[in-house]
Structure 1
Amino acid sequence: MSTHESDIRPEVAAIRSNPKAQVLIIGGGINGIGTFRDLALQGVDVILVERGDYASGASSASSHMIHGGVRYLENGEFRLVRESVQERNRLLRLAPHYVKPLPTTIPIFSTFSGILSAPLRFLTHKQGKPKERGALLIKLGLLGYDSFSRDGGSVPRHKFVGHKKSLQKLPKLRPDVKYTATYYDAAVENPERLALDLVQDALATGPQARTANYVEAIGANGDAVVLRDVLSGQTFKVTADVVANTSGPWTDLTNAALGQVTKFMGGTKGSHIVLDNQELFDATAGGEVFFENDDGRIVLIYPLNGRVLVGTTDLEADPAEPSVTTDEEIDYFFGLVKHVFPTIHVDRDQIVYRYSGIRPLPGHGDTAPGFVSRDYRIEHGSFAGSATVKQLSLVGGKWTTFRALSEHLANDTLALLGRQRTVSTTDLAIGGGVGFPQTPAAEANWVKAHGADLGEARARILLGRYGTKAAAVIDFIVAHTDTSGDTVTDAPLATLPGYSVAEIAYLMTEEHAVHLSDLVLRRSIIAFVGALDQGVFDELSGIAAEAAGWSPERLADERAQAAENLRFFHGIVLEAANTTAAAVN
């Protein structure tokens, strides 16, 4: 994208004015951000840079699940399952504004299938000819899964029911279902906003924590990392005692840019579609339907943000190429829905959003994609042959375990710095989860305390959208709207009344948004739920331009970039040219 503004962003200026740090983290996905927060809490002088927007790479392409990974038991990854279950329970406590319990049901169509093939799969990690898992095998797996939840978590144990009760609960299921098994995991309703909360937590610790999105690492110069501000094109150098590469599937590519040859990564592609299908939404009965397809791939169908999420694929992928959802994958998803809900019609007109990404998995040779380890490791080395600068490269990592992973990576970094941990994140609430009301009475009290200016109904909406960070949003709205009358005028959008002009201005000016795409894809779920039609796009772009001070040329560039991004990656077709007066404020 070309740029017409040459001013250096304040975030970049803060790094350039003090280009020396104890730690430089390259990669602002969930694990890099989590490590940034952890180190900042220890008082470490730390810089985080991300070549795109925060959580815009692999972290934006997850299944929105916080889960223990029941299937990882078959891979023998018991340590990972234990940690994942514990972190799932922990995130339900630490981030209750975004992480919610999710009942998960496995439909089962046989009793003994898979008993003989499962040990072979466990020992060889080869897919072979897929064998459906029967009730006995699933029961054994869930008993083991439950055993990892004995850390005081409040998630219920699994339950098994037979044919009759299964169809009473989920009447649209295939009529030949013999049993269903229901256990609990969790869903993260807005993962990108949770990542942003972590960024804000880090910055709140003090000036020793600095970060900038749209800044990429492009090379090494002696002991320094050469960075480029993507927006202005300007380059500058930063030195650090420890360089941490947390760039996910692109870890090897980042190392190559820094002059090192590594072959750590071997990610696989996962795609999803979001459907506006009320019948399918109702058929899930408020929970996830989780099963293994005939080809051995794990499948999920569940209600999310008023829509239905269907995923996922597991295909070999090249991180150097853009990841998009293909027509073949969409056909595959439709077949999956028919496999468990044979009478429910789904078609392409119901798709409101699609997305795809590459999992940051380790290299795996001829191991089948479904058996590639989902665990993580930290590779130690020296930066660009430096005698003094140390480098850590993260291989692997999941949304569910980001806090524990960040703790491990931070501990390794602290050891290299000769420092001790002073703050634990084990029970430290995240962002808008701090003081989040856990009961209807507590919610009513919060809403009453913060609803004096905008009204309690609006305060309740903002609480649901931002957690207790809504207090800052409300303060901003009050400060930036008409207060000449008895009440604040929080003008709703003409095309999207659930949002207001001042709220959109807040997202653009207070939350590190650089592009229009950041607003519609990651500061909000407007695109995800299919609410981004042409009128909304026009109105939002006009408000964003005014809030950010964009010139007409910059606005035209932003609209063109956003329209192409939405079309190519997400299947949303919009006109880039200005079509309403609202788009040219």
Structure 2
Amino acid sequence: MAANVAVDGVDLLIVGGGINGAGIARDAAGRGLSVLLVEQDDLASHTSSASTKLIHGGLRYLEYGEFRLVREALIERERLLNMAPHIIWPLEFVLPQNQSPRPAWMVRLGLFMYDHLGGREKLPGTRTVDLAQAAVGAGLNPRKGKAFIYSDCWVEDSRLVVLNAMDAAARGATIETRTRLVDASRVAGGWEAIVEGPEGCRTVRAKVLVNAAGPWVADVLGRVPDARTDRGVKLVKGSHIVVPRLYPGDHAFMLQNPDRRIVFAIPYERDYTLVGTTDEVWDAKPGKATISSEETGYLLETIGRYFDTTVSENEIRWSYAGIRPLYDDKSSNASAVTRDYVLDLDASEGRAPMLSIFGGKITTYRKLAEHAMKELAPFFPQASGAWTAGAVLPGGDMADADFDRFVTGLRARYRSLPPALLRRLARAYGTRIDQVLGSAQTVADLGQCFGGDLYQAEVDYLVADEWARTSEDILYRRSKLGLHTPDHTAAAIDAYLATPQVAEAAVAG
């Protein structure tokens, strides 16, 4: 371990590289503040890459009276759609009523509110169909009764985190992955913290400490000797399975189970259906979560209840689980625990400020960051005002946020590259696709093929510009290519990443 080395002070030391930490780093850097973000693993390596991958208002939260949260989320939904049209796009949801534990009038009332709470502009309103006649009924069993169809948005969740971190870095923030907070103490003028990264330990001085550690928020508080601990966090595990495609069409299903819990079935990576989520209280320490046999059984049972095909456990292509750090509102029902966020500012009696983030959801991350900066504004009178509403994320600056037109233009420019490859790269990188392709005009120009359509040029870009350091970073967070590449791909990537020239590029990046 290297000896402690002090570095110049920063305005904000942010602990946690999930969506909230990355969002706050971006907002703060754009206001002219100096920012250091440290993340103990990879960006979005835990909760923020384990979501149901939706930008949505949260229709079911209306049932628990979360009207403010739903309204804020609905407003943010269309903002985010315009900010990142390459990784966010509209998605229709079919809500069958033939097995619903809720009466149709109640569901329709909720959808009416959903349509009107957030000032909807782009997305269509709710409509009603007969499942026996409508194409969206294909694959259901029984295929009868009526269904409501409403719209929300899909998001590549881990890429949303990375894009916020990239924009923060472009505005002057320092982003350090594989770097953890060891401890922090209040000193004259702010904080003195020890962080440990690949090069060892060093001392960091900061005016404000932002605790955006997600499931580890309480753990970070425990490393601060005089931290206030009157706010609680409730950890809830949510798990998903990926199975062979269950039905035709590009729409999703919102399925209501007899226990009143909601499960989504969503088209995923062309060939699959994503099914989730579950809600289980997590009583252990935060860490790597995996799906339990009970959760697997629950999701498979839901598939059998609604679709005309059954899926066995050995047909599950992939599963993932994440721990949601929800604000503890003392609810005994894990599904009913609030998804709203709480910002706890500890700066009483002239103490150095610490802002801890409890709860939150991907859809409202930008607003959460804006609220966080409002809380911190008294400590930074030199900072500029709010700016992120409508400010596009890296790669999102395409004309009229029209993704299909953008892809058409790419095909005209790169006539010798496979259209499917161009479309995938456009979805991942948007207008930054030129940084990935460089001067390449043919597949041969892209370098080594690691399997599927993953080439050296893309891997090099991810290492240099997106903090990718392992095959898992590349195959399951920067992309979902792990579902489409042969078994040897991961080992081939790791071997390439270990070569001296790539390892040096990673250090430089």
Q: What is the TM-score when the length of structure 2 is the normalising length? A: 0.90
| More displaced stretch, 365-374 vs 250-259 | 365-374
Pairing 1:243–2:209 present: yes
Q: Residue 546 of structure 1 aligns with which residue?
A: 499
Q: What per-residue deviation string (whole Å, max 9, x for no partner) do you get for residues 125-169 of structure 1?
A: xxxxxxx11211111110111112425x21000011235335x43
**Cα pair 1:51 1:215 within 8 Å, conserved:** yes
| 1:105-120 correspondence to structure 2 within 5 Å | 105-109=94-98
Indicate the structure with greater strand content.
Answer: 2
Residue identity in the other structure for 1:200: M
Per-residue deviation at 1:324?
Answer: 1.2
Pairing 1:297–2:299 present: no
**Cα pair 2:30 2:171 within 8 Å, conserved:** yes
Q: 2 CA distance for matches of 1:235 and 1:473?
A: 34
Q: Residue 191 of structure 1 aligns with which residue?
A: 157
Distance 1:419 1:294, change over 3 A: farther
Q: 2 CA distance for matches of 1:145 and 1:458?
A: 37
Pairing 1:267–2:230 present: no
Q: Residue 379 of structure 1 aligns with which residue?
A: 344
Q: What per-residue deviation string (whole Å, max 9, x for no partner) do you get for residues 431-461 of structure 1?
A: 1112266164443334434x38968775444
Distance 1:187 1:456, change over 3 A: closer
Per-residue deviation at 1:410?
Answer: 1.7
Q: Residue 158 of structure 1 aligns with which residue?
A: 126
Q: What per-residue deviation string (whole Å, max 9, x for no partner) do you get for residues 489-510 of structure 1?
A: 3256555241212222222233
Pairing 1:355–2:320 present: yes
Per-residue deviation at 1:347?
Answer: 1.5
Distance 1:515 1:163, change over 3 A: closer
Q: 2 CA distance for matches of 1:204 and 1:32?
A: 16
Q: 2 CA distance for matches of 1:357 and 1:401?
A: 18
Distance 1:490 1:327, change over 3 A: farther
**Cα pair 1:319 1:358 within 8 Å, conserved:** no
Per-residue deviation at 1:405?
Answer: 0.9
Pairing 1:35–2:6 present: no
Per-residue deviation at 1:329?
Answer: 1.1
Per-residue deviation at 1:399?
Answer: 0.5
Q: 2 CA distance for matches of 1:411 and 1:88?
A: 21
**Cα pair 2:16 2:37 within 8 Å, conserved:** yes
Pairing 1:86–2:75 present: yes
| Aligned partner of 2:362 among 360, 375, 399 | 399
Pairing 1:517–2:472 present: yes
| Partner SS state of residue 400, structure 1 | helix
Q: 1 CA distance for matches of 2:68 and 2:111?
A: 16
Q: Residue 469 of structure 1 aligns with which residue?
A: 432
Distance 1:321 1:194, change over 3 A: closer
**Cα pair 1:508 1:547 within 8 Å, conserved:** no
Q: 1 CA distance for matches of 2:344 and 2:184?
A: 19
| Aligned partner of 1:506 among 441, 447, 461 | 461
Q: 2 CA distance for matches of 1:510 and 1:145?
A: 38
Residue identity in the other structure for 2:117: F
| Partner SS state of residue 339, structure 2 | coil
Distance 1:541 1:7, change over 3 A: farther
CA RMSD, aligned part only? 2.7
Q: What per-residue deviation string (whole Å, max 9, x for no partner) do you get for residues 278-321 of structure 1?
A: 3x042xx2111112211222111110212210111111113614
Q: 1 CA distance for matches of 2:203 and 2:412?
A: 50
Q: 2 CA distance for matches of 1:244 and 1:441?
A: 40
Q: Residue 391 of structure 2 aligns with which residue?
A: 428
Q: 2 CA distance for matches of 1:108 and 1:215?
A: 49
Q: Residue 220 of structure 1 aligns with which residue?
A: 184
Distance 1:516 1:80, change over 3 A: same
| More displaced stretch, 85-94 vs 312-321 | 312-321
Q: 1 CA distance for matches of 2:449 and 2:384?
A: 50
Q: Residue 402 of structure 2 aligns with which residue?
A: 438
| More displaced stretch, 170-179 vs 321-330 | 170-179
Distance 1:271 1:548, change over 3 A: farther
| Partner SS state of residue 63, structure 1 | coil
| Aligned partner of 2:104 among 122, 129, 135 | 135
| Aligned partner of 2:309 among 303, 324, 344 | 344
Q: 2 CA distance for matches of 1:176 and 1:549?
A: 54
Q: What is the TM-score when the length of structure 1 is the normalising length? A: 0.79
Q: What per-residue deviation string (whole Å, max 9, x for no partner) do you get for residues 191-223 of structure 1?
A: 2122111111111123xx212011111212442
| Partner SS state of residue 313, structure 1 | coil
**Cα pair 1:281 1:302 within 8 Å, conserved:** no
Per-residue deviation at 1:255?
Answer: 0.5
Q: What per-residue deviation string (whole Å, max 9, x for no partner) do you get for residues 235-266 of structure 1?
A: 22212111111111221111011223524201
**Cα pair 1:448 1:456 within 8 Å, conserved:** no
Distance 1:503 1:549, change over 3 A: closer
Q: What per-residue deviation string (whole Å, max 9, x for no partner) do you get for residues 26-74 of structure 1?
A: 1111011001000101111111111111111211110011111111111
Distance 1:36 1:293, change over 3 A: same
Residue identity in the other structure for 2:252: E
**Cα pair 2:452 2:484 within 8 Å, conserved:** no
Per-residue deviation at 1:539?
Answer: 2.1
Per-residue deviation at 1:105?
Answer: 0.9
| Aligned partner of 2:47 among 29, 43, 58 | 58
Q: What per-residue deviation string (whole Å, max 9, x for no partner) do you get for residues 106-133 of structure 1?
A: 11027xx8xxxxxxxxxxxxxxxxxx11
| Partner SS state of residue 12, structure 2 | strand
Q: 1 CA distance for matches of 2:210 and 2:418?
A: 46
Residue identity in the other structure for 1:514: R
Q: 1 CA distance for matches of 2:449 and 2:390?
A: 42
| Aligned partner of 1:537 among 490, 500, 503 | 490
**Cα pair 1:159 1:182 within 8 Å, conserved:** yes
| More displaced stretch, 194-203 vs 530-539 | 530-539
Q: 2 CA distance for matches of 1:349 and 1:444?
A: 40
Q: 2 CA distance for matches of 1:294 and 1:548?
A: 56
Q: What per-residue deviation string (whole Å, max 9, x for no partner) do you get for residues 403-431 of structure 1?
A: 11111112222233224534511111111
Distance 1:513 1:164, change over 3 A: closer
**Cα pair 2:95 2:149 within 8 Å, conserved:** yes
Residue identity in the other structure for 2:498: A
| Partner SS state of residue 374, structure 1 | coil
| Aligned partner of 2:142 among 139, 157, 175 | 175
| 1:566-585 correspondence to structure 2 within 5 Å | none
Residue identity in the other structure for 1:257: R
Residue identity in the other structure for 2:198: L
Per-residue deviation at 1:388?
Answer: 4.2
Q: Residue 507 of structure 2 aligns with which residue?
A: none
Per-residue deviation at 1:532?
Answer: 4.7
Distance 1:25 1:319, change over 3 A: farther
Q: Residue 325 of structure 1 aligns with which residue?
A: 291
